[in-house]
Amino acid sequence: MDADGRLARGVVVRRLLAVDQGSGSVSSLHVRVMAEAAGVTVRTVWRWLSEAREGRLEPVSRQDRFTLDDELWAVLAEVGGNVAALYRQMTADDLTGGVPSLGTLHRAVQRDLRAGRVLEVARPSRNRVEAGRYDRVLAELKLQRAGEGLPVVDADSPSPPGAAADGDGEEGVGPSRGGVRLFVPGARVVSTAGVAAVVEAVGHTAAARGIGCVFGDPGVGKTVAVQQALYLLPSRVPVWRAVVGVKPGLPQMRASLLDALGLAAGSLSHRAQPADRALGEVLRRPGVLFLDDAQRLSPALLDYLRLLWDEPGTAAALVLCGAGAERVIARAPALRSRVLTWHQVLGLDQERLAETLAMFHDVWEGADPADVGWADATVARGNFRTWAKITSHVYALSKRGPDTRVDRSLIEQACARLGPYP
């Protein structure tokens, strides 16, 4: 249950008292269920119940704690909900005659928001994109719509920014696209209709400054397609790529985000509040954070991302990608409800498979479409990664002699090298 759905103390206490008066006994299970619903510890609920039995249903208010009056709340709205900006203005103008610390100010704002006080942030258009602007923005980004024309070969374009280098640079090492190895020299990224659909989906998410999820079976080309989409964004749009470890904890997750955004991960990753403030400041700039292998993230980490994107003023887009990412996000309902774009990547189009492979690598030029169809039906099944591996073996076998033809026999030999788990 997220913060908006948590039960208030009064509701928790009244329901437990009703059980206490009805059956005469409140069990530890009753308390544990209510603690989970309220988002507090079991010990806290027992304390609430003990105070309620003594006649104190609501907490005693602290008269000396700092609260924001209507004037300060209006100033906070004017600065877009930025508590640090409010603090700087209070310090400069001395609006109250006694300025609290920044931490106290943060706690006061969070307390008022949890109590239901509405913050009407000024200049909302700063972080929203009108519906009528989507097509114009997509046109400015030069994004190809799915299904328009034949596949386009991206053969001579330079490597995208941040692409991982493969090997030591010697000739014959398989090229890569954003860290994805293509296994064979001379291979090219082919913008099929499926890739074009991902480009459009990612471009729309970037233009809307929203959250997108790209999912599909392993090896269908999700990462390659997203990297292509990010590469086609204008150079003025920063792209941050975060690397997710296996079963990361919150400190590791925070360090990955800090490193991706160019912040001091070593000194900030274990300092929660300074790190989150630093991340929030960077994410106020329009850009795209790409997080691959999102299926590795726990619901708690996905909720942490949701909290970052819920900060007032966040202008960056978030693209999550991974095989099974949609199932993991489904277990984090607060984030799931905020995902703007869901896009499933399917396998290669069988009707254009021979044509696509010929553009992927020259070794397939002149190959019989029936032989290609046999390999896809028996081994590859439309999987992009499997076809890249088959291409690597076909390329190696074709170099045995000057007149070696890519026929059924040679393709069968190449497929046999993939073993029982292609």
3-state secondary structure the chain: CCHHHCCCHHHHHHHHHHHHHHHCCCCHHHHHHHHHHHCCCHHHHHHHHHHHHCCCCCCCCCCCCCCCCHHHHHHHHHCCCCHHHHHHHHHHHCCCCCCCCHHHHHHHHHHHHHCCCCCCCCCHHHHCCCHHHHHHHHHHCCCCCCCCCCCEEECCCCCCCCCCCCCCCCCCCCCEECCEECCCCCCCEEECHHHHHHHHHHHHHHHHCCEEEEECCCCCCHHHHHHHHHHCCCCCCCEEEECCCCCCCHHHHHHHHHHHCCCCHHHHCCCHHHHHHHHHHHCCCCCEEEECCHHHCCHHHHHHHHHHHHCCCCCCEEEEEECCHHHHHHCCHHHHCCEEEEEECCCCCHHHHHHHHHHHCHHHCCCCHHHHHHHHHHHHCCCHHHHHHHHHHHHHHHCCCCCCCCCHHHHHHHHHCCCCCC
Most confident residue range from 55-64, 134-143, 394-403: 394-403
Which of 111, 45, 121, 32 lies closest to 79, judged by CA? 121
Mean pLDDT, the chain, rounded, equals 79
Residues making up the chain, counted from first to last: 422
Say which residue, 57 or 88, is predicted with more confidence: 88
**In angstroms, what CA-CA distances link 318 with 239, 302, 313?**
10, 12, 14
pLDDT at residue 226 greater than cutoff 60:
yes
pLDDT band at residue 38, thresholds of 50, 70 and 90? confident
The pLDDT > 90 percentage for the chain reads 32
For the residues 269-279, what does the mean pLDDT come to?
A: 82
- Bridge partners (DSSP) listed for residue 94: none
Structural domain spans, the chain: 3-53, 70-114, 192-344, 350-416
Q: How far apart are CA 223 and CA 7, in angstroms?
A: 41
Dihedrals φ, ψ of 322, to 5°?
Answer: 160, 155
Q: Is residue 190 very low, low, confident or very high in pLDDT (cuts 50, 70, 90)?
A: confident
Q: Say how far apart CA 21 and CA 14 lie, in whole Å.
A: 10
Label residue 192 by pLDDT band (50, 70, 90): confident
Question: Rg for the chain (alpha carbons), in Å?
Answer: 28
For 47-56, 57-66, 411-420, which range has the lowest pLDDT when averaged over its residues? 57-66
| Amino acid at residue number 387 | W
Phi, psi at 309, each rounded to 5°: -80, -15
CA 155 to chain centre: 28
For 74-92, give one letter per residue: b (16+ CB within 10 A) or e: ebbbebbbbbeebbebbee
> What pLDDT does residue 404 have?
81
Can you tell me the distance from the alpha carbon of 12 to that of 14, in angstroms, rounded to the nearest whole number? 6
CA–CA distance, 301 with 248 (Å, rounded to integer): 9
Strand pairing report for 176-177 and 180-181: antiparallel
Q: Which two tokens stand for residue 277?
A: 């403030």
Whole-angstrom distance, CA of residue 393 vs CA of residue 378: 16
Above 60 in pLDDT, residue 151?
no
Model pTM score: 0.59
> Architecture of domain 192-344 in CATH?
3-Layer(aba) Sandwich (3.40)
pLDDT recorded at residue 131: 41
Burial-class residue 247 by CB neighbours within 10 Å (0-12, 13-18, 19+).
exposed
**Alpha-carbon distance values, 191 to 188, 228, 343, 346, 390 (Å):** 10, 8, 16, 14, 19
Please say if the pLDDT value at position 108 is more than 90. no
pLDDT reading at 158 higher than 70 = no
CA angle 266, 267, 273 (to 5 degrees): 120
Comparing 155-159, 162-166, 261-265, 286-290, the range with the smallest average pLDDT is 162-166
For 5-18, what is each residue's pLDDT tens digit?
446 777 888 888 88
The residue type found at 420 is P
CA distance 417 to 79: 63
Reported as a pLDDT band with limits 50, 70 and 90, residue 152 is very low
